[in-house]
Copies of this chain bind each other. A is one copy, B any other.
């Protein structure tokens, strides 16, 4: 019984943290928010060089062969620094290939994904919260896919799409295929832009359909981890502000009302760390109830993170509500984490159903 991180896992977090703390300070994220969502190619490139793109790619395909838990630990750090990189969608593409790819699909894509030559993304929802495999309507017939997918991350730069298809399965589409059109959407977290993607008789190959639920579950875990990291950061930002800003001749944190608000934020967020650790571990070990654990983690962590983000704004006073205050960057990150792949309410419907209630 050892519910702790290994030294390797702690080192992984340290390494990612060291890199993004230097290379992706809030000022850099802000440039993206201020500009036209101009990406920072060097940032993702640096992470690729560290092996982050191939973290969960099997060693035989040139990756590090690590688990979802390791990816989630990376996500936590990326959320903590609000790093604007396509880690979620790329990692889920790897998951789709591992869980559902044939050996040809795997040997073609996994090495390219591992070394960063290709960026992967997932095209699942079709609008109106159609995140579940049962909801998908994109048609896959005669080796082509037709349909429109919404809220697709990083679609603009992706080399390969994992597309949810009618019947609840997945298909793989090379981004260079004819019939693929990417349309930008103005979305809330400028650091991680989303797109509408139209597939019009785009050449595709099928993945094993069992992979669909696994991809979604992995996504829920990574979003929970990201959100945890972001919420933890928001609490620290708020504490720092309260320890510095003076009103009525003393720092804000000296007011017990403010102190207790910060403590309540911590009580909301801090105890949720083990929850996504466990969900990731259960996913890796293919435990019974792993999907339910993922839904519990995603719904709970992102709900608590939302509340924390709102409190962080309030505790910062007027400045917290401005564009120039960094709080907005994390507020929006948490918001996107919470809504992507299903709201807490919708996930809880599944939690109830899978709980046998």
Contact = CB atoms under 8 A, between A and B. Distances in A.
Q: For the side of the interface on A, what is the size category?
A: under 10
Contacts of A255: 256
Interface string A239-274: 000000000000000011101100000000000000
Nearest to A263: B257
Nearest to A255: B256
A260 B257 CA distance: 7
What's the number of copies of this chain in the assembled complex?
2
Interface of A: 255-257, 259-260
7 contacts: A255-B256, A256-B256, A256-B257, A257-B257, A257-B259, A257-B260, A260-B260
Contacts of A259: 257
Contacts of A257: 256-257, 259-260
A213 to B, nearest CB: 34
A55 to B, nearest CB: 44
Contacts of A260: 257, 260
Give 6 nearest A-B pairs by CB, closest first.
A256-B256, A256-B257, A257-B260, A255-B256, A257-B257, A257-B259
A133 B259 CA distance: 51
A260 B264 CA distance: 14
A255 B260 CA distance: 11
A257 B255 CA distance: 8
A259 to B, nearest CB: 7
A63 to B, nearest CB: 51
A43 to B, nearest CB: 42
Nearest to A259: B257
A250 to B, nearest CB: 12
A235 to B, nearest CB: 18
A259 B258 CA distance: 12
A260 B255 CA distance: 11
A262 to B, nearest CB: 12
Nearest to A260: B257
A249 to B, nearest CB: 15
A200 B133 CA distance: 59
A257 to B, nearest CB: 4
A353 to B, nearest CB: 21
Contacts of A256: 255-257
A255 B255 CA distance: 9
A2 to B, nearest CB: 38
A251 to B, nearest CB: 14
A255 B259 CA distance: 11
A256 B255 CA distance: 7
A276 to B, nearest CB: 30
A259 B255 CA distance: 11
A256 B259 CA distance: 10
A260 B256 CA distance: 9
A259 B172 CA distance: 60
A156 B259 CA distance: 53
A248 to B, nearest CB: 12
A209 to B, nearest CB: 39
A119 to B, nearest CB: 46
A201 to B, nearest CB: 43
A255 B254 CA distance: 11
